[in-house]
Structure 1
C-alpha cells in the first residue's frame, strides 16, 4: 500500500468502515488472520464475519479472538454458505480443509502428490447450507464491502447466493478459482469469471498454484507442473462503468480506492483519488487534506522523486 498510512495519519480513515465477509474462514496460517494482516490499517473501523462449516474451527477462532481482544470486530459463524438455503451433502476429506460441497475427483488429484493425500474422501455428511443474502437479511446486515472466498470448488455457489449484496455494496472480491476439476462437477475459472464480469467486476490479478505430477521427479526448472488453482482478485472498475451510481458518491469511490491500495493496486487507487479531487472538490475527504496526503505519499517513493512527480500525468488535474 502507498497511500493508506498517510491518509490514516491525517484522519481520513476515521469515518470509513470496512466490512469483510470471509467465507471459508478456517485459520490455517497467519495469512488467514485478516485483521492482523494489511486490513489492520482500518481498525478499529473494521468488521469481519467469518463463515465455515467446521464448528470446531469457528470455536477455536472465536476463542483466540477473545484471548487477544483485538481492536476490530470479528466473529466466526459455523454456517456453510451455498447457492440457496437448503440441505446438501458435505464431502469431508482426509484433511478437512479440502472438504467441499462437491465430491473430490480422486482419479485426477491422486496424480499430484501434494494434492491427492489431502483430498481423498473420508466420509460424507448431510448439512444445512444458507445463501449469503438470506443470512444478511436475517441478521439485518445491509453492507458488505469485500468478499474473500475459499470453499474448495463451491465459490460460484456462494457468489450466486449473494447476488443481492453484490449489487448493493460489494466493491471487491478475492475468490479461489480452479483451472482443472479437483472436484467432480465443480465450476471452473471461466464460469466464475463470466459471472463476476456480468455483475460489474473486473479481473485485476491472479495468484496461481502449479503442482507437479506424481511420477515425474524432475529438478527445477523442468518441473513447473500443471496450473490447478489460484486466487482471483476482482474489483469494480468505476471509471470504466460510468453508468454506475457509485460514481455519484464520493464516499463509495474513496472506500474503493482504499481497498484497492490495501491490495496493492495503488495505480487504480491513485486514479480514483484523482477522480474525487477533480469531480468532488467540496468532498469532506478533500477538505481533510486528501490532495496533500496523495502527493506526500507519492513523494515518499524514491523512483517518483527521481523522475519528478510532474511526470505523473494523472496529477495534472490535481
Structure 2
C-alpha cells in the first residue's frame, strides 16, 4: 500500500464502503490497497463463480447472493443463467444480434431461475452502511439504472463509479454507454479511464463454411487472428471538485476522493484535490501530504520511464553488436 494512502486512512480512521455488483470471481484488484480498512459488499445471484473473499483481506465482508434490481417493489427476479457465469443477467440476451459475433456461445442461456431480489437502498439499510464510496457495476446491462436507483442522499456521496456498459446490444433493453456517459457527467462525474473491449464480428456458420474450404481454419484460429470489433467498455468516473464544492461535502469526501485518485494514478487531479482540501479545511498535516505525494509519484514515474528508455537503448545497441559479429 502507498504509505501516504495508509497514513490518511489511519489518521482519519476512514473505512471506505466498496460495493461490487457482479462479484463473480474475486474482488477487484484496484481495491487491494484499501481492503484492510474497508467494508466490502459483493452481489451476484449466480453462485457458480461467486468467490468468498478471504476473511483477512477486508475489514468487513458482506456477500449478497441475490439479484439487484432498481424496482423497490420487486422481491423476485427472473435471472438468465448463461454458459459463461459472468454473462448471466436479469436481462435476456439479445441472441439474434449476438449471433453476428464469435463470442455468442458465452451468452447461451442454460437455465432461467427465479432469484430473490433486493435493492441497493435496502441492503444499505439492512447492514447499516453509512454510505457508498466506490461502486463497481458489472450487472450485464443494468448499470445505469441501478446507480440511479440509489436514494439521492446516498448517490450524492458516491465518489467513484466503475461501469461496464455495452457499446452495442448484448441484452434486450440494456443501458448502453451512450446513455450512461452523459448521465454521469450531469451528476458531477468526469471520465477518468476508458478501456474498449471487443469481439470478432463473424458468425459461427461462416466458420463452418470456411472449414469446408480449408480444414485448418477453425474457431480458435479466427478468434486469435481476426481484429476485434468494439462491443463494450470498462469506464471509471470520479467526482469533480466542482461537485464537492457545490454540495458542501465534508472532510471525509475530500480525503477519500484524493485516495481514490491516487489509486487510479490521477496524480494531477489528486494534487488539485489536495489544494481544494487546504482551501476548505486549512493547512494541516493531511493537506501537506495530499500535495506532496502526487509530486513524489510523478517524479518516481519519470525516473522509471527514463530507466526503461535507457535499458531499451542499451538492448538495441547490444543487439546491433551481436548482429555485427554473428553476420556472415
TM-score calculated relative to the size of structure 2: 0.77
Return the alpha-carbon distance in structure 2 between the equivalents of residues 17 and 270 of structure 1.
22
The structure number with the bigger radius of gyration is 2
Return the alpha-carbon distance in structure 2 between the equivalents of residues 228 and 167 of structure 1.
28
Q: 1:21 aligns with which of 19, 22, 25?
A: 19
Relative contact order, CA 8 A, sep 6+: which one is greater?
1
Aligned to 2:281: 280
Q: 1:134 aligns with which of 80, 103, 122?
A: 122
**Uncovered stretches (5+) of structure 1, i.e. residues with no partner:** 307-318
CA distance change for structure 1 residues 65 and 190 in 2, over 3 Å: closer, same or farther? same
Could you list the per-position Cα deviations for residues 142-179 of structure 1 after superposition, in whole angstroms to 9, with x for gaps in the alignment?
21100001111121232132243543421010011101
Return the alpha-carbon distance in structure 2 between the equivalents of residues 128 and 176 of structure 1.
23
**Uncovered stretches (5+) of structure 2, i.e. residues with no partner:** 208-216, 307-328
Q: 1:89 aligns with which of 72, 78, 98?
A: 78
Return the alpha-carbon distance in structure 2 between the equivalents of residues 238 and 7 of structure 1.
21
Return the alpha-carbon distance in structure 2 between the equivalents of residues 54 and 192 of structure 1.
25
Shift of residue 71 of structure 1?
A: 5.5
Secondary structure at 2:61's aligned position in 1? strand
Return the alpha-carbon distance in structure 1 between the equivalents of residues 172 and 277 of structure 2.
46
Secondary structure at 1:190's aligned position in 2? helix
Return the alpha-carbon distance in structure 1 between the equivalents of residues 64 and 162 of structure 2.
20
CA distance change for structure 1 residues 137 and 121 in 2, over 3 Å: closer, same or farther? same
Shift of residue 269 of structure 1?
A: 1.2
Aligned to 2:232: 229
Q: 1:40 aligns with which of 32, 43, 59?
A: 32
Aligned to 1:312: none
Contact 2:143 2:163 in 1 (8 A): yes
Contact 1:83 1:161 in 2 (8 A): yes
Return the alpha-carbon distance in structure 1 between the equivalents of residues 118 and 140 of structure 2.
17
TM-score calculated relative to the size of structure 1: 0.79
Could you list the per-position Cα deviations for residues 62-92 of structure 1 after superposition, in whole angstroms to 9, with x for gaps in the alignment?
3x625xx335322321121111230332122
Query: Does 1:302 find its partner at 2:302?
Result: yes
Contact 2:268 2:294 in 1 (8 A): no
CA RMSD of aligned residues (A): 3.0
Contact 1:153 1:187 in 2 (8 A): yes
Aligned to 2:8: 12
Q: How many residues align?
A: 287
Contact 2:66 2:115 in 1 (8 A): no
Q: Which moved more, 1:217-226 or 1:199-208?
A: 217-226
